[in-house]
């Protein structure tokens, strides 16, 4: 009779201290849900001031949850006490897992992993929050591809329930199981996706947004008409152009370029108008202008 296979340790036992690289919208959101779930969190960014601002963002968002009755004041205080911030990757030395949530540019992520891995314990896991880049390729930039996984959170992280889990070709079963358990501990619903360009959500969502930009580009409808049509005609909570502004037009363009290059199919060609908006620096909400102008009391369509 063969011996039983050893049980895979639960995330509650193995993953107690989580590192987060990036204190922007996604990184701060990931740190927020980890700390609120009882995990110790270390969050870094390029300098101490940026990391500190990320911590302030978390505190404001937690306060909003308190005001809405979703958590208690003491929950907020305990969560904030679990968060350490800084700019030095040495802070990750005792982390069980580090989740990278930096800019969606492969060369930046690869450089981060090059600097990160020498500072980690040999048994530490690495996850990337990339929304589109090959997990296998990023894993190859580390010294532990078997302990590397895609953990793609949706934005805004404290609100959205989904997490896509993406194995690279070398990702081992223990890493996948631990990451899945962690997602569940954070109150998320994990789904497994294969390591193909843009995974599941963005493979479907971004071409729809790109098509909405084509509809605008070709003069079929105005910004307002397109968003109203999709909200009322397809029951979407947010129109595709409004959603593009929320995501960031630079991010939308990056994903479309990756799909176009990775799948070699003309249906993924980025709309020239999307390219022009990005060239103009009109990236959406984060820059004050995109398909809408956000600099006044209420958003106004720019076309």
Distance CA 133, CA 261 (A): 12
Which pair of structure tokens corresponds to residue 132? 């589109």
Residues classed as catalytic: 131, 152, 164, 202
Classify strands 17-21 and 97-100 as parallel, antiparallel or unpaired: parallel
Which pair of structure tokens corresponds to residue 100? 């990278």
Q: What are the φ/ψ torsions at residue 69 (nearest 5 degrees)?
A: 80, 15
- E-strand ranges in the chain read 17-21, 40-44, 83-86, 97-100, 125-128, 148-153, 162-167, 189-193, 292-293, 300-301
Q: What is the DSSP string of 212-256?
A: HHHHHHTTSS-HHHHHHHHHHHS--SS-HHHHHHHH-HHHHHHHH
Task: Using the structure block, give the residue that is written with the tokens 């990750």.
Answer: 92
Distance CA 255, CA 198 (A): 7
Alpha carbon distance, N-terminus to C-terminus of the chain: 72
Q: What are the φ/ψ torsions at residue 197 (nearest 5 degrees)?
A: -50, 125
Residue 109's alpha-carbon distances to 68, 205, 240, in angstroms, are 36, 23, 28
SS3 196: coil
CB proximity list for 7: less than 8 A, separation 6 or greater: none
């Amino acid at each position: 009779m063969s011996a039983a296979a050893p049980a895979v340790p639960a995330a509650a036992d193995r993953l107690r201290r989580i590192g987060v690289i990036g204190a922007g919208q996604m990184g701060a959101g990931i740190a927020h849900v980890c700390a609120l779930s009882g995990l110790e969190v270390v969050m870094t960014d390029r300098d101490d001031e940026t990391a500190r601002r990320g911590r302030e963002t978390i505190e404001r968002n937690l306060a909003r949850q308190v005001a809405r009755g979703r958590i208690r004041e003491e929950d907020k205080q305990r969560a904030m006490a679990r968060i350490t911030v800084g700019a030095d990757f040495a802070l990750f030395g005792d982390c069980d897992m580090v989740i990278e949530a930096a800019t969606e540019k492969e060369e930046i992520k690869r450089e981060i992993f090059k600097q990160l891995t020498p500072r980690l314990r040999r048994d530490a896991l690495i996850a990337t929050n990339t929304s589109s880049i090959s997990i296998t390729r990023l894993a190859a930039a580390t010294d532990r591809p078997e302990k590397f996984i895609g953990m793609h959170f949706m934005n805004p992280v404290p609100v959205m329930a989904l997490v896509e889990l993406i194995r690279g070709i070398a990702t081992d079963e223990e890493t996948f199981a631990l990451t899945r358990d962690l997602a569940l501990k954070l109150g998320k619903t994990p789904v497994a996706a294969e390591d193909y360009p843009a995974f599941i959500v963005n493979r479907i969502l971004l071409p729809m947004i790109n098509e909405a930009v084509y509809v605008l580009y070709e003069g079929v409808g105005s910004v307002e008409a397109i968003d109203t049509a999709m909200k009322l005609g397809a029951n979407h909570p947010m129109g595709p152009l409004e959603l593009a502004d929320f995501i960031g037009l630079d991010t939308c363009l990056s994903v479309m370029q990756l799909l176009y290059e990775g799948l070699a199919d003309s249906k993924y060609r980025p709309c020239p108008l999307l390219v022009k908006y990005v060239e103009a620096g009109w990236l959406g909400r984060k820059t004050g202008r995109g398909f809408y102008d956000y600099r006044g009391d209420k958003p106004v369509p720019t076309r």
